[in-house]
Structure 1
Amino acid sequence: MGKILISACLLGENVRYDAQHRRLSHPVLEQWQREGRLVPFCPEVAGGLPTPRRPAEIRQRFPILVTDRDGADLTPAYLQGAELALEVAQRENCCCALLQSLSPACGRDQTYDGQFRQILVQGSGIAAAELMRHGIAVFDETRLSELFAFMAMQDQSAA
């Protein structure tokens, strides 16, 4: 049965920038956790950022630049966290990832615009993009039904 890399904050770990979590409660996720199929990971913390920390956004995409509200360049930490996310996903044989939406590390389809105005733009977070670039399917908490269908197909294939 396939494993899933999951944002640690979605499992209740206080790793977000504000030292909070975004615990996601769902019976299927709880079952997978009991079965040892969930691999918790926080790219931001793995990349060396503290908890709590100042909010960060992707200021520009090419070349990539991630800054906090004060303009401090956090790009190296985000890139390292993305590389480590990929390493963990590959080492643990994760077939996919369930990541926190809108995050500069984990957002799948959208992130904030880099100006700290609460405006969303199309584009993936740094770790989500790295995982997808290497063929790992990425879902966020708004796409649980798609994740469940994907995992059902993975489990059927493995049977």
Structure 2
Amino acid sequence: MKDQKETILVSACLLGANCRYDGNNGKNEDVLALLDQYHLVPVCPEQLGGMQTPRPPAERRGESVINQSGEDVTAFFVKGADETLKLAEIYGCKRAILKERSPSCGRGMIYDGTFSGKKIPGSGVTAALLEENGIEVTGESSIKSGTVRRDSR
């Protein structure tokens, strides 16, 4: 009998992988609890794009991604988004749970590019590409008690 669990892409940092820009993780127990009901495919678009860990923080400025040193790192983010989309297609993922506010993974709200902590409406490079390709993207705050709440759009 074939396993009927849905497969969902998940930001690897939410599962406890130390892949965030600062070398830490964003381990989220509610996301980890999903392992009982779903197959979770961990992804870190920034690492998939060739960036090292740790790395300088980066934020979106329009269509570009600039790190705190002023270097344009957009190409890494675009490559990581493309690789993440390939994984979603390989695994048949229709949904993704991604790290909120990230320049890669944030959906709906991201930092404004000034490194001041100010948030603006927008999405990260990977979140936007996944949504453009029909994959529903939610952030970790949409996960409660081992269930994925559907975004109200």
Alignment of 1:76-91 (within 5 A): 76-91=75-90
Deviations 1:50-95 (A, max 9, x none): 00000000012xxx11010111010000000001111000110012
User: Which residue of structure 2 lines up, in the alignment, with residue 154 of structure 1?
Assistant: none
User: Which residue of structure 1 lines up, in the alignment, with residue 21 of structure 2?
Assistant: 17
Q: Is the CA contact (8 Å cut-off) linking 2:142 and 2:149 kept in structure 1? A: no
User: Which residue of structure 1 lines up, in the alignment, with residue 130 of structure 2?
Assistant: 131
Deviations 1:84-120 (A, max 9, x none): 1110001100120000000000001111000111000
User: Which residue of structure 2 lines up, in the alignment, with residue 2 of structure 1?
Assistant: 6
Alignment of 1:110-149 (within 5 A): 110-145=109-144, 148-149=148-149
Q: Distance in 1 between matches of 2:149 and 2:42?
A: 21
Q: Give runs of ≥4 in structure 1 deviating > 2 Å.
A: 147-150
Question: Given residue 60 of structure 2, which amino acid in structure 1 is its aligned partner?
Answer: I
Deviation (angstroms), 1:10: 0.4
What is the aligned counterpart of 2:61 among 31, 43, 59? 59
TM (norm. structure 2) is: 0.89
SS at match of 2:42: strand
Deviation (angstroms), 1:149: 4.6
User: Which residue of structure 2 lines up, in the alignment, with residue 40 of structure 1?
Assistant: 42
User: Which residue of structure 2 lines up, in the alignment, with residue 99 of structure 1?
Assistant: 98
Q: Distance in 1 between matches of 2:148 and 2:26?
A: 19
Q: Distance in 2 between matches of 1:52 and 1:149?
A: 32
What is the aligned counterpart of 1:30 among 27, 35, 58? 35
What is the aligned counterpart of 2:51 among 49, 52, 56? 49
Question: Given residue 98 of structure 1, which amino acid in structure 2 is its aligned partner?
Answer: I
**How many residues were matched structurally?**
143
Q: Distance in 2 between matches of 1:149 and 1:9?
A: 20
Which blocks of at least 5 consecutive residues in structure 2 are unaligned? none
Q: Kindly, what percent of the aligned residue pairs are identical?
A: 41
Question: Given residue 19 of structure 1, which amino acid in structure 2 is its aligned partner?
Answer: G
Q: Is the CA contact (8 Å cut-off) linking 2:45 and 2:104 kept in structure 1? A: yes
Question: Given residue 55 of structure 2, which amino acid in structure 1 is its aligned partner?
Answer: R
**Aligned-pair Cα RMSD in Å:** 1.4
